[in-house]
Structure 1
């Protein structure tokens, strides 16, 4: 009786058609699973006479292997045939979707442009600490003890050490260079600076400066003017005009403010330039002899010039940006405007 059931199931397994996943699952439940018909036949082996168990066992194992092989083969065939169906709706001739890459910050772009311009005329880049001491930030640069810039309204002093502060300009880097390097010195000092100011569309407590220094024998104010003329023409274009206005800085004498023609109105007058046609981009002057002496350089043998500019101010002029706060808000809509630059 058991041999007849084995032969019957063998015929059923051989004739069973598996064309989809549903039929495969039905086949597995009916024949191969632990509760299937083949497993039930194994449970009946205990009723078989001992002299027939070997023959019946062999037949039953052959049936089990047949069913397992058929199920495995059908499963592999269905998986292979499923791949074209899953991709049949795709158009491989369409162009790929580009990755959403970021863009460089406009301040970083302008900073790099400024550095490249000055590197072409022999300036190298020097950097220094953002937490500075009083000597390098003030005293060595001829700031007297009662100077307004030392007041808490302008400077962030570190409470644990009253002699330490967050640098208010990158001139402190120039002091460090002059202390450790003998002339000739031709260096550019870009970096972040801090001042205790209210944040508005035209001011911020954290911003970026780039300052230049040239010290050698026979350096004159003409060298300063020629250097800045070259820089302005390279960065803003050959039609940009530049002018110098007398001013005062503790560390330079004589000193001058640097103005260029307004890039928005092209010198005709607008709200940005206050109808003057000119906008200020920085300050400059000949290095005060006392500053050279403070840094260990003989002022009778050497002279030099220095200049400083705000990178935010230059970037605002170059790209006609009217709100300084946009640089630090990290608004993706603002930053995407510079993807093609």
Structure 2
């Protein structure tokens, strides 16, 4: 019987052979760990829809970020839950707001940890939308100045990078201009450039208390069927000054990650979002799949598609597993 000269199975025969020819390699260096912070003391409040994810107060946050850094994870991204909300989300840019104080706390405890801050209004507005309202519509241009003010307040607190997630047109340029005017030339921008209006955000809205009180976000987040539009969004954000561009969610948009990476010579991040995390956790809890294998397979797929950075709630678990 004739066999081909090249037999691919030769290099799959044992684990160390597979390691030698592995094309995509996961590392904690890729991960950004999301953290939810709120006012108070001694808080470590579980998020029911996201097993293993918690809301933290500043004092309990210190031990958490030290653990993150000890696992070799280089960065965290912060989401804030304010004590009070109003129509304009004024707590988002308060100098002693929950995120601003958390940034100071983290930089005091772990000065080398990269601190990224989410820049948006949905957690801070009483209506739960990502911008200033005109009637029941989000008014794009007045929102830009508020977002820029938030970003500057985060930079003043010590944030290394700001991450606008609102999907307003022109917000990257407005933030870059304001940061530069205030002397924060070194503060980087990670833009949520292709952020789709996705069903996979549900658990996050519980964790961040950010569900809209009416309507939805289809008028500003991207329509899931569109791919070419994502490339236009990426191009605009790069031209406006984004240092890193992001695709969100990740799993249902691996094709977008790949297209962005092939089209642009630019750092590309992907957000392995709350619903993607919760699905694996729920299936594993029911014994329907192996959580550790599924976690690593998903993260590998996101990296293989072209993501240079992965924001993921699995960061700590994956880092431990990769070190074992």
Q: Larger Cα Rg: Structure 1 or Structure 2? A: 1
Q: TM-score range, shorter-chain basis?
A: under 0.3
- Compute the TM-score of the two structures, normalised by the length of structure 1: 0.23
Structure with bigger RCO (C-alpha 8 Å, 6+ apart)? 2
